[in-house]
Amino acid sequence: MSPELTMPHDDELERAVIGCAISRPDRFPDLSAILAPADFYRPAHATVWQTLADRIGRGEPVDPAALTAALASAGQLQTAGGGAYVSQLALCQVPDATWHAQEVKKTARLRAARTLALRLLQATDGPGTEPPQLAALVSEVLPTLEGSDDAGTANRQAAWTADALYRAEFPEARWAVPDLIPEGLTVLTGAPKVGKSWICLGLGLAVATGGKALDSIPVEQGEALYLALEDTPRRMQSRLHRMLGDGEPPPGLHIHVDLPAGLGGIRRWLDQHPGARLVMVDVLQKVRPESGRETSAYAADYAAITALKHLADAYQVAFVVVHHIRKAQSSDWMDATSGTNGINGAADATLFFSRARGEAEGLLNLTGRDVEENEYALRRNDGSMTWYLVDGPADIATATEPNAKILAHLHEQGPSTPKQVADATGQDPKTVRTLMGRLRDRGRLTQLGARGPYALPSQTAPTGNKATQATAHHHPEQTPKGVLPLLPRCPQDPDQREREATPPAPVVALLPSRPQSTRGEAS
Domain match, 403 and 352 both: no
**CATH number, domain containing residue 431:** 1.10.10.10
On whether residue 3 sits in a domain, the answer given is no
Residue that is last in its domain, among 335, 358, 393: 393
Residue that is last in its domain, among 167, 188, 211: 167
Low-confidence ranges of the chain (pLDDT < 50): 1-3, 148-154, 328, 331, 338-339, 396-397, 461-523
Q: Which of 243, 238, 258, 171 is nearest to 209 (CA)?
A: 243
| pLDDT (0 to 100) of residue 220 | 93
User: For residue 127, how many other CB atoms are within 10 A of its CB?
Assistant: 5
**CATH number, domain containing residue 310:** 3.40.50.300
Domain match, 416 and 373 both: no
On whether residue 508 sits in a domain, the answer given is no
Domain match, 219 and 288 both: yes
- In this structure, are strands 361-368 and 374-380 parallel, antiparallel, or unpaired? antiparallel
Domain match, 151 and 190 both: no
Domain match, 138 and 44 both: yes
Please report, as a single letter, which amino acid is at residue 265. Answer: G
On whether residue 260 sits in a domain, the answer given is yes
Q: What's the farthest any 2 CA atoms get from each other in the chain? A: 90
Domain match, 109 and 202 both: no
On whether residue 99 sits in a domain, the answer given is yes
Q: Residues, the chain, total?
A: 523
| pLDDT (0 to 100) of residue 291 | 57
On whether residue 404 sits in a domain, the answer given is yes
Q: Which residues contact 518 (CB under 8 A, 6 or more apart)?
A: 383
Q: Residue 228 belongs to what H/E stretch?
A: strand 223-228
| pLDDT (0 to 100) of residue 261 | 78
Domain match, 369 and 220 both: yes
Domain match, 160 and 183 both: no
Domain match, 193 and 138 both: no
Contact 333, 443 (CB under 8 A): no
Domain match, 67 and 156 both: yes
Task: Count how many domains the chain has.
Answer: 3
- Tell me the C-alpha distance between 103 and 431, whole Å: 77
**CATH number, domain containing residue 116:** 1.10.860.10
Residue that is last in its domain, among 167, 187, 220: 167
- Tell me the C-alpha distance between 81 and 87, whole Å: 10
What SS3 string covers 141-176? HHHHHHCCCCCCCCCCCCCCCHHHHHHCCCCCCCEE
Edge-first strand order for the sheet with 276-282 is 253-256, 223-228, 276-282, 318-324, 184-190, 349-354, 361-368, 374-380, 387-389
On whether residue 305 sits in a domain, the answer given is yes
On whether residue 272 sits in a domain, the answer given is yes
Domain match, 190 and 161 both: no
Domain match, 227 and 366 both: yes
- Residues spanned by the domain of 103: 11-167
Q: Is the dihedral of CA 325, 327, 329, 335 positive or negative?
A: negative
Alpha helices, H only, 245-287: 263-272
On whether residue 424 sits in a domain, the answer given is yes
